[in-house]
Amino acid sequence: MPTGVRLHDPRQQLFDAAERVLLRDGPSALTSRAVTDEAGCAKGVLHRHFDDFDGFLVALVLDQEARLAHEAEVLRAAAGRGDVVDNLARALLVLFGPVPLAIIPLVTFRDELRARLRAAVPGGGVAVLAPVTTAVGAYLRAERDVGRISRDADVDSLTLTLVGGGHLLLAGAPSSDAHDRDDVRRLVTTALADVLPRTR
């Protein structure tokens, strides 16, 4: 493996390499050697930018959560526009994309990573699931405020239904994109059936 490869943006290239390893080989295969081999650089490159491998993983998770925050803003901005079911189905497919889904078991099975994330983001909740829950809840409240879902809608329960159901659907066995879209849309349609305006 080459040791003299100069990386243009080392942190991002290491993050990208880690994501490829996660998606291809799973959380148990994610080691510092696997990441630097995938990035095509010396192991020392990672340690020049991060104190240790768990520090790298914290940064990886926070980078992914920053991307989720952007998607949350996109969803929130859609309130009052387009179709509510379409907006939520699209958002769940993005928020529970392959990398966020791979991050969840990574955090679940690494005690030190969970501890460091709690220290980095006090009260931040479960990695990936917490920001997705916040995003969906904020969108539903915004739609309730503009009258596109019922004023008496139980947003907290709807949010848990959509996030829990979306996670279970999309974390299951691999399937076609079309199948995923249909299943998620069916989930959203069913969950919101009693709070959307009736069409004649």
pLDDT digits (tens, 9 = 90+) for 17-63: 999 999 999 999 999 999 999 999 988 999 999 999 999 999 999 99
Domains 9-49 and 64-191 share a fold: no
- Determine contact, residues 171/102, Cβ cutoff 8 Å: no
Hey, where are the domains in the chain? 9-49, 64-191
Nearest alpha-carbon partner for 140 in 157, 123, 125: 157
How is domain 64-191 classified at the CATH fold level? Tetracycline Repressor; domain 2 (1.10.357)
Assigned CATH class of 9-49:
mainly alpha
pLDDT at 28: 92
pLDDT digits (tens, 9 = 90+) for 79-136: 999 999 999 999 999 999 999 999 999 998 899 999 999 999 887 778 889 999 999 9
